[in-house]
Amino acid sequence: MIPNKTEDHLKLPGMQRRECNMNMKISAHSTRGEKTVKIKITISKIWSKIKKVKNGVRTVPIKRNKFISIGLVSLLLLLQTSCWDKAEVEELAIVVAIALDKSEINNVRVTLQVINPKGVASGGGGGMGGGDKKATAYLNISNNGKTIFDAVRAMGSTVPRKLYFSHNQVIIISEELARDGLLDLIDFFNRNPEIRRNNWLLISKSDVNQYHLLDAPNPIELVPAQRITGIIKDEQRSVAYAINQLGDFTELFSTPGTDAYTAAIHLVPDVTKEEKMKVINISHTALFNRDKLVGWLNERESRGLLWISKKISDAAINIPMGEKEKYATISTVRSSFNMKPYITEEGQVIMDIEVKARGSISETDVYIDLSKPENIKKLENKMANQIQKDIILAVEKAQKVNSDVFKFGAAVHRQYPEFWQKIGGNWDQIYPTVEVSVQVDAKISRTGLISKPLRVK
């Protein structure tokens, strides 16, 4: 007795279906084009695995068969196209640094620092080549263009390899371009899928030609871009500048009530050499209003910015001890801050900033008995006063050039949204008038292995 047909099953009573014996062939070439791989899928075998026996009659689930067939074919197609855009490393010019200058010929001059594998293997340094018989570890390639993309595309006529930006580490923009505005320049970097958001962004001083900046000699690192990233990695120990990555910088100048900042890079004389030679130095902080560079913070002011941007840890602070050229060095263990805005009845904006810092004594030039609690308290007060002064100096400079790098506007927007709706459009006029109150709680938790300084008897 043959059971009735159902929507879910197709009966196969004793007879063979012609389509079940058909073979489906899929041909695909390997990634190198050397062999042709033929894949045979016997549909009859697939069907035999999913057949079911019900009441003595073989049945095949139509829906299940359909989904399995589609899934297998889709999987095979995906596997064959997984490396469609593959490129061998021998065919790539790996870019590790990008520098932008204002061009007299066109809008922008782009300089790319490219790794030279032969030079790295031979230990050669210097991107200009010169008379050195060794292959250089890097090459600097420059071109002019109406846009960055235009300049980079034009480099294809001189570079025999495909420019590859996924390993880029540093983006340097000249002061002149930064003062004109970075919006159009940043657009290129954010659109390019190869350029990562963790690229370090730096602003060069006006007296530095980008080509020479990326060719500064360095006895340790063969490639200047590696020297720059090496300095930046030690950022938290150095409080001479405040730096941002491309993604964070873009977010800052795109956020209402906030302005962007990042570190400055320039060349300084090498004090270890008798001849006139300059080396890369990162210090000071570039301040922006919207997307335009408007001013700089010096090293002490940069430290004030760092205290209220959660970017100070394991930094050394030199505390004047009253005597000439005498200091106590305190290493910060951790720090935190809290910022809260207040609005008076007259509409005056007041920012209340509280900073907590914890540190340990690394060195002292003067005789002070640190086993006595009162001496520890004196050092803590000096530490708190210096941190407070650093912050006030930074705020005053930022207000002077109208750069809200402290996110005062964002704090007001968050705390008083209705008030912000009224004054947000005029924040550039209100920000310089904001009153700031700074309180610092500084504690010294450790004094080192000795509590009393050494003395000659």
Q: Read off the CATH number of the domain in which 333 is found.
A: 3.30.300.210
* Domain boundary, last residue among 265, 297, 329: 297
* DSSP β-bridge partners for residue 220: none
Give dist(CA 447, CA 397) in Å, integer.
34
Looking at the structure, do residues 386 and 259 belong to the same domain, yes or no? no
Looking at the structure, do residues 318 and 266 belong to the same domain, yes or no? no
Domain-located, residue 304: no
Domain-located, residue 303: no
Looking at the structure, do residues 320 and 251 belong to the same domain, yes or no? no
* Domain boundary, last residue among 245, 274, 297: 297
Of residues 446, 411, 250, 243, the one with CA closest to residue 337: 411
pLDDT at 264: 95
Looking at the structure, do residues 271 and 136 belong to the same domain, yes or no? yes
Domain-located, residue 302: no
Give 10-residue mean pLDDT values along the chain (457 residues): 44 42 42 43 50 50 68 72 60 92 87 83 52 71 93 86 92 95 92 94 79 79 89 72 94 92 90 72 94 95 90 79 78 90 95 94 78 87 94 97 96 96 94 97 78 60
Domain-located, residue 69: yes
Tell me the helix, strand and coil percentages in the chain, rounded to 5. Answer: 35, 30, 35
Could you tell me the pTM of the whole model?
Answer: 0.76
The domain of 37 spans 9-80
pLDDT at 41: 46
Domain-located, residue 2: no
Looking at the structure, do residues 163 and 275 belong to the same domain, yes or no? yes
pLDDT at 277: 75
Domain count, the chain: 3
Looking at the structure, do residues 212 and 95 belong to the same domain, yes or no? yes
pLDDT at 237: 60
* CA terminus-to-terminus distance, the chain: 116
Looking at the structure, do residues 69 and 128 belong to the same domain, yes or no? no
Give dist(CA 188, CA 98) in Å, integer.
12
* Domain boundary, last residue among 25, 59, 80: 80
Looking at the structure, do residues 206 and 347 belong to the same domain, yes or no? no
In the three-class reduction of DSSP (H, G, I as helix; E, B as strand; rest coil), residue 11 is classed as strand
Q: How many CB atoms lie within 10 A of CB 397?
A: 22
Domain-located, residue 430: yes
Residue 322: phi, psi to the nearest 5?
95, -40
Looking at the structure, do residues 291 and 429 belong to the same domain, yes or no? no
* DSSP β-bridge partners for residue 39: 26
* DSSP β-bridge partners for residue 60: 10
Looking at the structure, do residues 220 and 143 belong to the same domain, yes or no? yes
Looking at the structure, do residues 253 and 380 belong to the same domain, yes or no? no
pLDDT at 217: 76
Looking at the structure, do residues 22 and 59 belong to the same domain, yes or no? yes
Domain-located, residue 269: yes
* CA 397 remoteness from chain centre: 26
